[in-house]
C-alpha cells in the first residue's frame, strides 16, 4: 500500500471583511479564489503523479458554504467535508484542528488556504518534496 499525503483546506462562508471572498468572481474566474485554487490542484495532481511516485495525494475541503460545495461537486477527486455550525465560528480553530485527522486519510496532513492564490502547484510540489526529503522517506 502506498503512503498518502492529505492537503486540507478550510473554506468558511461569512467573511467579515470581504463579503463572499472565497467565491467572489475575479477576472475570468467565476468562482474566484476557490476556482483558482482548484486549477492549481488539477495541475498539482498531474505533477505529483509524475514526480512523486511513492505517495498518493488527497485534497480535503472542509466547508459550510453551499456555493463551495456545489462547485466542488464536479471534482470527484476532491473530498468535501460538510463543516458543522459549531466548527464554523470565529473562535473554534482548536476544535477544527481536532477534526482534521478524522476526515483526512493521509500519513501526513498539510493545512493550506484558498486565500493564497500565488501559492500554486509548483509551490506545493516543492514544499512536499522538501518535507519528504527532510524526513528521510523520499
**pTM confidence score:** 0.91
Question: pLDDT above 90 covers what percent of the chain?
Answer: 72
Report pLDDT digits (tens) over 12-64: 887 777 888 899 999 999 999 999 999 999 999 999 999 988 899 999 999 99
Sheet containing 55-63, strands listed edge to edge, beginning at the edge strand earlier in sequence: 78-82, 55-63, 3-11, 108-111
Q: Are strands 78-82 and 3-11 parallel, antiparallel or unpaired?
A: unpaired
Q: DSSP E strands: which ranges in 12-135?
A: 55-63, 78-82, 108-111
> Which pLDDT belongs to residue 2?
67
Q: And the C-alpha cell for 26? A: 475575479
Do residues 61 and 72 touch, judged by C-beta distance below 8 A? Answer: yes
Amino acid at each position: 500500500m502506498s503512503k498518502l499525503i492529505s492537503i486540507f483546506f478550510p473554506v468558511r462562508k461569512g467573511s467579515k471583511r470581504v463579503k463572499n471572498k472565497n467565491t467572489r468572481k475575479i477576472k475570468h474566474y467565476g468562482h474566484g479564489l476557490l476556482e483558482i485554487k482548484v486549477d492549481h490542484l488539477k495541475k498539482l495532481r498531474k505533477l505529483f503523479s509524475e514526480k512523486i511516485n511513492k505517495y498518493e495525494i488527497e485534497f480535503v475541503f472542509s466547508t459550510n458554504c453551499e456555493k463551495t460545495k456545489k462547485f466542488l461537486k464536479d471534482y470527484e477527486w476532491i473530498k468535501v467535508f460538510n463543516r458543522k455550525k459549531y466548527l464554523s465560528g470565529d473562535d473554534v480553530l482548536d476544535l477544527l484542528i481536532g477534526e482534521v485527522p478524522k476526515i483526512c486519510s493521509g500519513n501526513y496532513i498539510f493545512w493550506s488556504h484558498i486565500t493564497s492564490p500565488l501559492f500554486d502547484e509548483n509551490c506545493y510540489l516543492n514544499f512536499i518534496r522538501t518535507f519528504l526529503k527532510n524526513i528521510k522517506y523520499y
